[in-house]
Amino acid sequence: MNARTALVLHAHRSEYPRPITFDAGAPLTVGQRYEGPEGWEDWWWCETPGQDGGWVPAQVIEVVDGAKARAREAYTARELDADPGETVLVTRTLNSWAWCEKPSTGESGWVPVACLQWLEG
Query: Quick one: three-class SS letters along the chain?
Result: CCCEEEEECCCECCCCCCCCEECCCCEEEEEEECCCCCCCCCEEEEECCCCCCEEEEHHHEEEEECCEEEECCCEECCECCECCCCEEEEEEEECCEEEEECCCCCCEEEEEHHHEEECCC
Q: Where are the domains of the chain?
A: 4-14+79-118, 21-76
- pLDDT tens-digit map of 17-34: 999 999 999 999 999 999
pTM: 0.93
Does residue 1 carry a pLDDT above 70? no
Q: Residues 96-121: pLDDT tens digits?
A: 999 999 999 999 999 999 999 999 75
Q: Which of 32, 19, 39, 38 minimizes the C-alpha distance to 79?
A: 19
Rounded to whole angstroms, the Cα distance separating 26 from 12 reads 29
Cβ–Cβ under 8 Å, residues 29 and 44: no
Higher pLDDT, 40 or 86: 86
What's domain 4-14+79-118's superfamily in CATH? Answer: SH3 Domains (2.30.30.40)
Q: Give me the half-sphere count of Cα atoms (radius 13 Å) on the Cβ side of residue 117.
A: 10
Q: How far apart are CA 31 and CA 45, in angstroms?
A: 5
- Assess whether the region 4-14+79-118 and the region 21-76 belong to the same CATH fold: yes
CATH topology for 21-76? SH3 type barrels. (2.30.30)
